[in-house]
Amino acid sequence: MNQPAIDPTFYRTAADAAAAPPEKLAYVAAFDRAADKPDAMCVVDVDAGSDTYGRVVGWTEVPGLGNELHHFGWNACSSALKHEGHDMAGLARRYLIVPGLRSSSLNVLDTGPDPRHPTVARVVDAADLAAKAGYSRPHTLHCGPDGVFLTCLGGADGSDGPGGIALLDHGTFDVLRQWETDRGPQYFAYDAWWHLGRNTLISSEWGTPSMLEDGLVPELLLANEYGHALHFWDLATGEHQQRVDLGAQHQMPLELRPSHDPEATWGFVGVVISTADLSASVWRWHREDGDWAVDKVITIPAVPADPDRLPPALKPFGAVPPLVTDIDLSVDDNFLYVSCWGTGELKQFDVRDPAHPTETASVHLGGIVGRAAHPAAPTESLSGGPQMVEISRDGERVYVTNSLYGAWDDQFYPDGVGAWMALMHTDPRGGMTVDERFFPHDGDFRGLRAHQVRLQGGDASSDSYCYR
């Protein structure tokens, strides 16, 4: 009996992923803050040899209004090879599962028939997520070896929490269950990822829906009420094993980026802000004496600024916090990219020694005060800043978009955040340059705000690799 063919984008190793053909399309989630128009999945041509390079070439609206499309991902990826030998018939990197952060519904988009024009294959409604997993406000998802892991910020039936992880079926997209079997002290949720070779899942913390949906709450921030810990779990059983507190002043450890080496036991997490000095930071987790330890390895200070140029939330401080809202690790584990949404900067760090990162380059675009222009439009000051970051599998291209979350956009960029996407080309020795030909912005997104990017065939934050 013939064995089913395995999707060629299920890469056995990180090196295989980097050597595969480059992406030709990028998928960008875009949303209407006013909820007057449907949110959409935008398809951008990223083939430098194409006549439509840097342009939106596909547009798929999702049902309903006010979804606020946020983080999304593939139904299946390289982690499926962790249990190679089971029935993989029909399993492929084909469907994008796209949560609505405000609606709590999940839109499943089929990219198979025409990758430039995905179609809505299914909608999983909020009631189903609540009934079967006990969660709401789906935020981040990763395709894992046993299903799709979907982190959620809120509880069911309008409750504020606890947040946690729902498990979805790879192929049917059915909500299977709540993943945790013993959550221990964990209450806040944000991201979750793993070390497949070490049977360990890591989760991070933001806050409950009421702490987020109307913007950053200064009283809660200054009282250190947002999340400030990482949690380590048994990946196979869903049991909580260890909590590591970063210190209450280190508010909001968000994006998790584990090493792509399946035998490694380290990774990075970005921390949005310190209430001690408005700095941002990046921390490294690793094994130490049989337990998990987390150490700060990068500190990015706030930048003094004239209070008259600051939004109301920052005037009392006379400074612009970097606001590290996303980080991304190249597939070869050599470079870490850190978005400083507040100051409008994308930083590149050499992390070949992960305990001692070295800054190798930076690019300025937008910023609360700086408003640095894109070289394609040098007379136009940009609003927003590098926010979501995605890296091509070969590490040669870094894509950024500029919207964080509707209410937070309005709070920190009250005169409007706009919509734009940019591309940086990298040097393998360190360094970045902005692509002057690539600048989808404003009208290209039809009045919607651009958020997360996924790349055709996978990217640096899509896959977990099972072999060395």
| Residue 109 in tokens | 């988009």
Q: How much is the pLDDT for 158?
A: 78
Of 332, 333, 302, 329, residue with least CA distance to 318? 302
H helical segments located in 30-134: 126-133
Task: Determine the Cα angle at 259 with ends 255 and 263, to 5°.
Answer: 140
CA 208 to chain CA mean position, Å: 18
Local structure of residue 142 (DSSP, 8 states): E
Note whether 106 and 139 are within 8 A (CB): no
Other CB atoms closer than 10 Å to residue 263's CB: what's the count?
11
Query: What is the domain class of 14-455 according to CATH?
Result: mainly beta
Cα R_g (the chain), whole angstroms: 20
- pLDDT tens profile 387-396: 999 999 999 9
Distance CA 389, CA 254 (A): 13
Q: What is the Cα 7 distance to its own chain's centre?
A: 24
* Strand, helix or coil for residue 194: strand
pLDDT at site 7:
92
How far apart, in whole angstroms, are the C-alpha atoms of residue 405 and residue 409?
Answer: 6
Q: What is the pLDDT of residue 82?
A: 83
Angle, vertex CA 347, rays to CA 274 and CA 403, nearest 5:
75
pLDDT value of residue 5: 79
Selection from 313, 11, 318, 7 nearest residue 171 by Cα: 7
> For the segment 316-346, what is each residue's pLDDT rounded down to a tens digit?
999 999 999 999 999 999 999 999 999 999 9
3-state secondary structure of 59: strand
Q: Which residue has the tokens 């690019």?
A: 363
Rounded to the nearest angstrom, the gap between the alpha carbon of residue 53 and the centroid of all alpha carbons in its chain is: 24
Predicted pLDDT of residue 1: 45
Element (H, E) at 408: helix 406-412
Per-residue DSSP letter, 372: B
Which residue, 171, 41, 146, 151, is CA-closest to 95? 171
Torsions phi, psi of 203, nearest 5?
-130, 155
Q: What is the rounded CA–CA span in Å between residue 453 and residue 437? A: 18
Residue 16: CB partners within 8 Å, gap ≥ 6? Answer: none
120-125: long-range contacts at Cβ-Cβ below 8 A with a sequence spacing of 24 or more?
Answer: 120/60, 120/62, 120/63, 121/95, 122/173, 123/62, 123/63, 124/168, 124/173, 124/174, 124/175
Give the tokens for residue 49: 């040899």
**In 92-161, alpha helices (H):** 126-133
Buried b (16+ CB within 10 A) or exposed e, 4-32: eeebebbbebbebbbeeebbbbbbbbbbb
d(CA 407, CA 411): 6
Say if CB 93 and CB 457 are below 8 A apart. yes
d(CA 57, CA 92): 23
Rounded to two decimals, the pTM is 0.97
**How does DSSP classify residue 373?**
P
The list of the chain residues with pLDDT below 70 reads: 1-4, 84-88
Question: What are 362's two structure tokens?
Answer: 């930076």
